[in-house]
Structure 1
């Protein structure tokens, strides 16, 4: 029995457009999952936050891990962002600020000093951890890209 889904009726231009549409769809879904989780965490009952966002978190992390490992395997960092220490620093700063704000304003704190402390500690820890992870991923991706380029040159 023939598999009707194996046949491709698209020309190259249509194939490129479809790939672009699918790419935009994935990034829209990715962004909406993040927004959904942030809104639910911000408005959820403090004791039951995990239960409210469990489905979104599972979907988000599966998608995130798939994209991460697929990009590393193929030596791709990003379409419009250059892999550098500067971009990793900016990404880590953004992640730190977002997590710091979430931690400062979604969990109950007794005083303003506790809110500021929660922001600083969580932002600092998240920023440093994110920067380290981005640096590791950048090194692995660059190494993989060089290996793939060497294989292309040998052929």
Structure 2
């Protein structure tokens, strides 16, 4: 019984070209969902700074998607198509990632206190530094784990059936 069910869901009726096309469509849909959720969260945080209840659903879906992508990539020993897992790349990515929450914080504080521009800039700068630093720390830890995982995968026998178990 289980064999029939497993066979039913593991057989593919697509040729190799169609399989690659489907994978590309799924990949694009995944990244569209990821970045769309992130933009929706940012817009909602800026538009409704005091109402955290409206973003809970999007936040959960975004975090689950981010954790899944991270764990799946680490498990397979894949970092990125264009970026290397080194300190320079992590620093640049962390600076860019830190600017987003810093800008959101600046906009929220400015919305509440438009006459206190120095305080708004200070709040945005503080959040930028904290978020960038946290991002750099997490990326550095993940890069070290990635290098360790790649070494483990390279030490394993080159048997596709062995890796799939």
Give the number of the structure with larger relative contact order, counting CA–CA contacts within 8 Å between residues 6 or more apart.
1
| 2:34 pairs with one of 30, 33, 45 | 30
Q: How far did 1:86 drift?
A: 1.6
Which sections of structure 2, spanning at least 5 residues, go unmatched? Answer: none
Provide, for residues 78-101 of structure 1, a one-character-per-residue CA deviation record: whole Å limited to 9, x for no partner.
Answer: 122222212111110011111111
Tell me how far apart the structure 1 counterparts of residues 62 and 84 of structure 2 sit (CA, whole Å).
Answer: 24
Q: How far did 1:112 drift?
A: 1.2
SS in 2 for 1:95: helix
Q: How far did 1:63 drift?
A: 0.5
Runs of 4+ in 1 over 6 A off after TM superposition: none
Which residue pairs with 2:88 in the alignment? 86
Which sections of structure 1, spanning at least 5 residues, go unmatched? Answer: none
Tell me how far apart the structure 2 counterparts of residues 153 and 29 of structure 1 sit (CA, whole Å).
Answer: 34
Tell me how far apart the structure 1 counterparts of residues 9 and 19 of structure 2 sit (CA, whole Å).
Answer: 15
Provide, for residues 51-77 of structure 1, a one-character-per-residue CA deviation record: whole Å limited to 9, x for no partner.
Answer: 111110000000011111111111111
Question: Normalising by the residue count of structure 1, what TM-score does the alignment of the two structures yield?
Answer: 0.91
| 2:148 pairs with one of 118, 131, 143 | 143
| 1:15 pairs with one of 14, 19, 34 | 19
Which residue pairs with 2:47 in the alignment? 43
Which residue pairs with 2:108 in the alignment? 106
RMSD: 1.8
Question: Normalising by the residue count of structure 2, what TM-score does the alignment of the two structures yield?
Answer: 0.85
Q: How far did 1:146 drift?
A: 1.1
